[in-house]
Every structure is written in C-alpha cells, then in structure tokens.
C-alpha cells in the first residue's frame, strides 16, 4: 500500500514538472529539468522495494545509489531467487529476501560498495541454503550461552588466546544481550586452540574447567576482556573473581576429562574444516567469510524467523 501511494505521488509530480516544462517554466533550464526527472524516475523504480527495507530509510544519497545497484544485481534465495528488487516487488512476501534487503541497506550505510555487498550476501546465501551441508557439532548444556532449549544454535569455534576472538566474541554477546535474541537463541562454545597462539591449550583448559563448574561464559568473557593481562597465574585469579572455588577450579583444570573434552572439540573442528578462529556455524551450517557482529545477529534473526515459520501450524484454506 505504501509503495503504491509513492508511485502515484511520483507520477503526479512528474506530470506537474512536464506541465511546467510545457509552459516554458523550465525554458533555458533543460538540464535542471532532466536531472529532476531522472531523480524522480530513479526513486520510483525502487520505491516498492525500499518500502519493505527499514534500513533504507536513513540512507544518504550516495548510499542509496549503492543500495539501488545492489538491489538490481544481487539475487535472493529460498522463497525467491530473482533479483532482490524483483522479489520485493512481488505480491507474496519472502522473509529471507526481506532480511537480505535490510542487510544490503545496512552495509551500504557502512560505506560498502555494491560488489563487496554482493560477495557478503552470496556467502550468506550459501550458509542459509536449504541444501547446505550440516556438520556434526556437539552441543552440551554447560557450553551454552542463551536459551539451552532453542532450535537456533550458533556454534563458535574459538581460541582462548586469539586476539580477534577477544574483540569479536564479547561484542557479539554484549550485542545479543541488548536484544530479545538473548532468550531465543543458543550460542554453543567449541574449543579450537591454535598452536601459534601462546598458552592456547592452558587457556582452553581453564575455560572448560569453568564450564564444569557452571561458569563457562562468565569466565570466557572475563579472560577476553582482560586479554592482555593473561598469565598462567592470572587464570586462577579470574576464576576466584567470578565466584569459583580456587581448589575446585585447579582440580578441574588438571582432570583428564577436561583435557579430553578440549582435544575432542579441536578434532571435531578439524573434521569440520575449521582453520581459523572464530568460525561460526548456524544450526550446523558453516558461515564462511568475515561477517561483522550485526551480520551475525541478522543471520540469527533470519534463522529464528525460518524456524518459527516452519513450526507454525498451517491455517485452513478459506473458501
């Protein structure tokens, strides 16, 4: 309804300009008229699509032009595989394309070029495809942040001494804490200590020891937020600071089962093709490429919407 009104308004404005031109109002200013009409026609061609993408509302002229190009180049997936612009102009709503449209506009606002956006969306489409490979990833309650009963599980292979993880993972969790997703999805901790990172194995053992004492995520975030202060002695200080018993923590770190869990997770990651950290999987499907936190959140929202849609009972046909 909104975009139909916009088209009518644009058509009316174009008629006014044409009438003004015919009466000589723009005589000697043909280039100005040409520019105005070009802008109006450009806006009319994508108004229907933008009406469904909330992120487009605040775009400046330059970003809007990038988004327009991306809408015409990038194809949707799932319920519509035409261009994003074409999909959004169809009568039937396609949820996956609506998420993609919002992401295109968000990335445009961040200064991304159309070809860069296409690469990001193509990788997203690969992860969200119905026929995407589903990897076998262990999920245990003690490794979960969020809702342990959720049907949307974001598994993250990480290294306790990975500098990029120390910035990216806490930012993701703190971002999720500010949204309804905190009670709707699960983030599953997987260990992938990298040899080139000093003390990666003791760091992983400490996280798993904390997990066995019910403090996996509080400890992980504590260690990441104090990343540069890491020492083998500091491991035990952090454990006490978040409420763990010093002796119980030390004992759990030395437990053979703790080392076995870390080793098993590393081997699982290798089988699943993990080579760097953090590496994310959404319900077992690999998310390739370096996505920013907002992109991961968008993917989680899309997956949740898809799961809820699949679980919703079919309404009886009306005659």
CATH class of the structural domain 141-309: alpha beta
- DSSP structural state of residue 272: T
Percent of the chain with pLDDT over 90: 76
Point out which residues pair with 145 in neighbouring strands: 187
Report residue 276 as tokens: 């760097």
- DSSP structural state of residue 284: T
Q: Which residues of 154-188 are buried (b: 16+ CB within 10 A; e: fewer)?
A: bbbbbbbbbeebbebbbebbeebeeeebeebbbbb
Of 213, 187, 212, 201, give the one whose Cα is nearest residue 278. Answer: 187
CB 175, CB 204: distance < 8 Å:
no
Within a 10 A sphere around the Cβ of 296, how many other Cβ atoms? 22
**pLDDT tens digits for 180-222?**
999 999 999 999 999 999 999 999 999 999 999 999 999 999 9
Question: What is the Cα 155 distance to its own chain's centre?
Answer: 13
Of 272, 275, 256, give the one whose Cα is nearest residue 196. Answer: 275
pTM score, whole prediction = 0.83
pLDDT value at position 319?
39
Please state the domain extents for the chain: 2-128, 141-309
Burial of 75 (0-12, 13-18, 19+ CB in 10 A): middle
Is the pLDDT at 315 greater than 90? The verdict is no
On average, the pLDDT of the chain sits at: 87
Of 170, 226, 163, 168, give the one whose Cα is nearest residue 196. Answer: 163
**pLDDT tens digits for 63-120?**
999 999 999 999 999 999 999 999 999 988 899 999 999 999 999 999 999 999 999 9
> Is the model more confident about 58 or about 7?
58
What mean pLDDT do residues 160-184 have?
A: 97
Q: Containing H/E element for 45?
A: helix 30-50
> Is the model more confident about 7 or about 194?
194
């Amino acid at each position: 309804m909104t975009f139909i009104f916009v088209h009518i308004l644009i058509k009316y404005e174009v008629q006014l300009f044409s009438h003004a031109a015919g009466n000589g109002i723009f005589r000697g200013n043909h280039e100005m008229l040409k520019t105005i009409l070009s802008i109006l026609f450009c806006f009319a061609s994508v108004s229907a699509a933008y009406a469904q993408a909330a992120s487009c509302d605040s775009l400046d002229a330059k970003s809007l032009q990038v988004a327009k190009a991306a809408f015409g180049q990038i194809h949707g997936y799932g319920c519509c595989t035409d261009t994003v612009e074409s999909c959004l102009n169809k009568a039937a709503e396609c949820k996956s394309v609506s998420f993609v449209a919002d992401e295109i506009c968000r990335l445009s606002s961040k200064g991304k070029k159309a070809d860069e956006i296409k690469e990001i969306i193509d990788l997203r489409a690969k992860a969200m495809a119905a026929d995407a490979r589903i990897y076998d990833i262990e999920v245990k309650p003690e490794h979960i942040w969020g809702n342990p009963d959720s049907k949307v599980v974001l598994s993250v292979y990480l290294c306790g001494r990975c500098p990029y993880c120390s910035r990216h993972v806490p930012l993701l969790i703190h971002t999720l804490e500010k949204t309804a997703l905190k009670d709707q999805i699960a983030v599953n901790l997987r260990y992938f200590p990298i040899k080139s990172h000093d003390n990666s194995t003791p760091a992983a053992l400490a996280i798993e020891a904390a997990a066995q004492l019910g403090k996996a995520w509080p400890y992980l975030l504590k260690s990441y937020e104090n990343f540069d202060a890491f020492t083998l002695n500091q491991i035990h200080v952090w454990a006490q600071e978040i409420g763990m018993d010093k002796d119980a923590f030390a004992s759990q770190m030395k437990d053979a089962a703790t080392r076995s869990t870390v080793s098993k997770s590393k081997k699982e990651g290798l089988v699943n093709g993990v080579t760097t950290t953090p590496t994310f999987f959404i319900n077992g499907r690999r998310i390739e490429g370096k996505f920013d936190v907002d992109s991961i959140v968008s993917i989680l929202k899309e997956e949740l919407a898809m799961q809820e849609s699949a679980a919703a009972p079919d309404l009886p046909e009306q005659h």
